[in-house]
Amino acid sequence: MMEGALIVISGPSGAGKGTIYNSVMERMPENIRSISVTTREPRGSEQDGVEYFFKTEDQFNELVKNDGFLEYANVFGHYYGTPKKHVMDMMRLGKTVLLEIDVKGAAQIKSKFPSCVTIFIMPPSFKELERRLRGRGTDKEESIIKRLSEAKCELSQYKLFDYIVFNDDLSDAINDTVNIIRSERNRTLRNENKIKQLLEE
């Protein structure tokens, strides 16, 4: 069986990582969407094990204590984390797991799981990043200034990533990301067991 892979898509707010991630999942539905654990309450029609794994704070802390996360963080008073077991179970089945996360989370995962493949979504310029953030029309000026300050720091972390994808043209950026994932799935080491079986026939 082919060994699975963990692909981490990251980048600063406004770079377009969420849009690229969702487009890649549409183009490559055979990939597995990583499901996060959260301590917040379900919203609307959200279901446990579909949008999120919903846990109490005590359950979340127990998972932290038992090294159950590849990464986790407190976001606006609620905890979110990437469950190690879910990712590893899918990879053992030969699946490619895709995860979209912020730069800090990506760094945590890379330090714990060095063989994961990290892709940094880079805006064409800082001015364009600012234009996109302001164009959303959902954030107050104070929030935009904070996001831009964080983005400056995050952009400087690009060397920690395996690949850089420039999102100056969305269609090209999606194609580049799809090609990276296909290339990684075809790496010799990931297919070693499958090749051995073939040679033994």
The pTM (predicted TM-score) of the whole model is 0.82
**Any idea which of 54-63, 69-78, 136-145, 178-187 has the lowest mean pLDDT?**
136-145
Tell me if 180 is assigned to some domain. Answer: yes
Greater confidence (167 vs 75) lies with 167
Tell me if 44 is assigned to some domain. Answer: no
Tell me if 43 is assigned to some domain. Answer: no
CA distance 23 to 44: 24
The contacts of residue 146 (CB under 8 Å, 6+ apart) are: none
CA distance 49 to 89: 14
Tell me if 61 is assigned to some domain. Answer: no
Instruction: Identify the band that residue 2 occupies on the pLDDT scale cut at 50, 70 and 90.
Output: low
Tell me if 13 is assigned to some domain. Answer: yes
Order of all β-strands in the sheet with 5-10: 32-33, 96-100, 5-10, 117-122, 163-166
- The number of domains in the chain is 1
**Any idea which of 43-52, 54-63, 132-141 has the lowest mean pLDDT?**
132-141
Mean pLDDT in residue range 29-56: 92
Over 70: is that where the pLDDT of 1 sits?
A: no
Look over the chain and give the mean of its residue pLDDT values, rounded to a whole number: 88
Range of the domain at 162: 5-34+95-200
Tell me if 25 is assigned to some domain. Answer: yes
Lookup: tokens for 133: 């953030």
pLDDT cut 70: percent of the chain above it: 93
Mean pLDDT in residue range 108-122: 93
Tell me if 88 is assigned to some domain. Answer: no
Mean pLDDT in residue range 154-162: 90
Mean pLDDT in residue range 113-139: 85
146: closest CA among 11, 15, 12? 12
pLDDT of residue 20: 96
pLDDT of residue 77: 86
Over 90: is that where the pLDDT of 186 sits?
A: no
Domain containing residue 143: CATH number: 3.40.50.300
pLDDT of residue 44: 87
Tell me if 52 is assigned to some domain. Answer: no
Over 60: is that where the pLDDT of 22 sits?
A: yes
CA distance 173 to 194: 31
Mean pLDDT in residue range 113-136: 87
